[in-house]
Structure 1
Amino acid sequence: MSADVIAFPSPPVGPVKGFVAGDLILTCVNATLGLWCAWPVHSVDDDGCCCAVVTRHGQVIAIERVSSRAERFGFRRVDHRPLPFVMHAWRTFTDPAVAVLALAQVALDPREAEA
């Protein structure tokens, strides 16, 4: 399965290619309650698609086991300010749009990303 990388300020396009360990993937963990969690990426395949995430306690879990819906959103660590970005790891949200906004607020200005 793949996820969409959220690129700011432009909208996301296509499946994720280029995830690395430490990026975040937002996935629905409970469709009944509408809970979403931003998981740190543990490992990726040769195409850069997320294969596994890591829990707070260091357990590695296949992405399919933590996701209750097909929709996923990816956020690259290099596109965000480091400390605020890692503070979103394992954070839960009741709406994916809220998560996207929260991570947009810690995104680097495109001029910062080029430096």
Structure 2
Amino acid sequence: MALDKIELFERTRDRWPVYVHIRPKDGVPCFETNPSLLDVYRKIEADCEPTEALIPEDEWTNLANWSFHQALWSIAERSEEGLLSCDQVTFQMFDHCMKRNLSADDCWIAERGEYEASP
């Protein structure tokens, strides 16, 4: 089955809570969220862990989840206190993070080509 970037984005977004509460703070990171973005990411990752051998779809799911986390994190860094909607992550933001992650290491050359070739 060929990879569909939009479908991957939508499946990934659906795994995240609709809203998280954000509170800016001094320090690093410069915000807190409830639930914690990192905790949500780790829970999704654990829920998506294969029970048997890792298949290519599992790799795409993990990479997409991390990319969505990065995009949401970048919004949170610029946000004021209140509710942060996961719908604020656009496909373009997600796509940028996916491309950056796939370009980070030469071990992703095949996946990078597949991602670029997908609709």
TM-score range, shorter chain: under 0.3
Structure with the bigger percentage of strand? 1
Structure with the bigger percentage of helix? 2
Higher RCO (C-alpha 8 Å, min separation 6) = 2
TM-score normalized by the length of structure 1? 0.27
For the pair shown, which has the larger CA radius of gyration, 1 or 2?
Answer: 2
